[in-house]
Structure 1
């Protein structure tokens, strides 16, 4: 089993206005700071930290899962699940085929989500090869900061504040507790 990021997030998990306030940086008359590049990198860094701590995709992104064969339920990591883009497999003839969405069900309510055969269906036979099954999903809360839960944006803003006020060294070991309500176990 292998997960590969196909389309990385483009949006930021917090707005630049909020980030500049948390960093307590000066802005010019147009609202821009000379530290905006560093602030954006820090937002992306702390978003990645939050993703690692919560086992979630925060900003919208696409991932590809490859499996050597179909096996029971296919677990879809990185909730929340937005869409299963496709399920493809190499059939016994060695040709890659799309699996008809009517032949499987997607559980996007559970975290992590799952794909299982539809009632009365079974997984098709696959070629005896590595990476015989490919699943591509879109996941995350949305394309921009407006869809990010408050606990996650609060964590990122707290980390930004520490980053710019204490030379980048976290001072409060309890900041990670902000993420506890969003952690996915499994």
Structure 2
């Protein structure tokens, strides 16, 4: 199984004005640098948590359909497509009525709909691909406060290296970790 980010998030997990304030930077001339730092810290935090904070599209690629397809990031929001190579090697799209997105479990799963089964696939590498949207929502207003707090604390540490670093900042992510 391979997971790959297809469409990265458009918006940031914290507002640029909040990041600028935590970095104690006046003016907008360093906003490009601040954005790069925020996005880098956010990606690291998402990796630590196994979560997507802002909506983004991931592709799961498998050699065949398993009983259940574990999704790469939580929370799972929607499935864009399920494609597979049929037994004759032709590319097919699975009808959404044929599968169920389990958004409650973390990590999320894609399973056959009630009374349905996964179709047979060609014996071929990467015969199945699933595109799924993951994330809390489209912008920072959907991101939980403790995650924002972590990102902003790390921004402050980055731009203010003499600021005492708290060994407890990382703990604000603990409740958001998804265990696989």
| 2:17 counterpart residue number | 17
**TM-score calculated relative to the size of structure 1:** 0.92
Question: Pairwise mapping of residues 28-39 of structure 1 onto structure 2 (< 5 A)?
Answer: 33-39=28-34
1:37 Cα deviation from its structure 2 partner: 1.3
Where 1:47 maps in the other structure, the secondary structure is helix
User: Cα RMSD over matched residues?
Assistant: 1.4
What corresponds to 1:96 in structure 2? 91
Moved over 4 A (4+): none
Deviation at 1:171, TM superposition (A): 2.2
Find the counterpart in structure 2 of residue 86 from structure 1. 81
Select which of 127, 138, 142 maps to 1:147.
142
TM-score normalised to the size of structure 2?
Answer: 0.95
**Equivalent residue in structure 2 for 1:46, among 22, 41, 47:** 41
The equivalent of 2:179 in structure 1 is 185
Following superposition, the deviation at residue 34 of structure 1 comes to 1.9
SS at match of 2:130: strand
Aligned residue pair count: 180
CA distance in 1, matches of 2:98, 2:137: 28
Query: Matched residues in 2 for 1:139 and 1:36: separation?
Result: 27
Deviation at 1:170, TM superposition (A): 7.9
- Kept in 2, the 8 Å contact 1:64–1:134? The answer is yes
1:22 & 1:171 partners in 2: Cα distance? 14
What residue ranges of structure 2 are gaps of 5+ in the alignment?
A: none
Unaligned runs of 5+ in 1: 28-32
